Amino acid sequence: MQTHRAGNALAAFSFVLWGILPLYYQFLPQADINELLSFRIIFSVPFMLLAIMLLRRPMPSFSALWQDKRSLAMCGLAGLIMCVSWYAFTWALTQGNVLEASLGFFINPLFAIALGVLFLKERLSSAQLIASILGIVGIGYQVWHYGELPWISLIMGSFFALYGLCKKHIKYDALTSVTVESMLLAPVALTYLLYTISTGSSTVFASDVSTLLLYIGSAPVTLAPLIFFALAISRTSLTMVGLMQYIEPTLQFLLAVFLFGEVFDEVKAVSFGFIWLGLILCSLEAIAGMLRQRHRAA
């Protein structure tokens, strides 16, 4: 029971850290997203290796990684997919579109459900089916009124769901997987940064030291929640994790509306309302299932 509570606390803390990330990126308005992503990838490698060492986990060895070539290849694919999702997320945070980032994470479970049905042959429950329909209605309502798709939210939600699908085919542990993803992409990121420096097109190295440190800091501030999440996942149930994942977009939504003053008009209220209703139905179904399991166990 104590382990379970510790797991719940660690999971909640990880989602809170993810939820308040927009506060960090307010110090990097109009950031160069390409350079920011490159810095995050490169400095993720030493940060993850340090985290593995401090947590006294076994260091990833090349021979052990090479024995499972499929997982190694999937790490490369997962890293590329995460880059797309993170690019959209970072752009939203640095361009004053935190509300779009929030929407992306709210609709992510709906994409995850769709991928589960298409690729993992999972069956939709009644609540999941209704939630999917409500999500489509919510997005459709925005498109009808604004005349355009919420591209940033859709890219974030869909690619993060694809990232989750890739992770199901990786046999390495969570920390090793993230480290390998960064290692595989680091040469590309480093080559890009060296190119910007050699051509004089780098905005980071032409700026002050504080900006450079903020770019470097994007690695630990985004990976720290992931480490807490990895520690939590073995100590609590997936149902609890699924319920607590809405802490992140909820905090981002509150920051966007009440702190950053982003516009939350009637159209967005209706659109979010449909999506929230679907997620509430899924949450209630998950809670009911968890209570039934506990009753059987008793």
Residues 6+ apart with CB under 8 A from 161: 108, 111, 112, 114, 115
- Average pLDDT of the chain to the nearest whole number: 89
pLDDT greater at residue 158 or residue 168: 158
Q: Is 185 exposed, middle or buried (0-12, 13-18, 19+ CB in 10 A)?
A: buried
Q: What is the pTM of this model?
A: 0.89
Q: How far is the C-alpha of 232 from the C-alpha of 5, rounded, in Å?
A: 10
pLDDT (tens digit, 9 = 90+) per residue, 162-218? 988 888 888 998 889 999 999 999 999 999 999 999 998 888 888 889 999 999 999
Check residue 234 and give its pLDDT. 65
In whole angstroms, what separates CA 54 from the centre of its chain?
24
Q: How far is the C-alpha of 276 from the C-alpha of 104, rounded, in Å?
A: 12
Q: How far is the C-alpha of 259 from the C-alpha of 25, rounded, in Å?
A: 14
29 neighbors 203 (Cβ within 8 angstroms):
no
pLDDT (tens digit, 9 = 90+) per residue, 8-17? 888 889 899 9
85 neighbors 163 (Cβ within 8 angstroms):
yes
Q: How far is the C-alpha of 139 from the C-alpha of 62, rounded, in Å?
A: 45
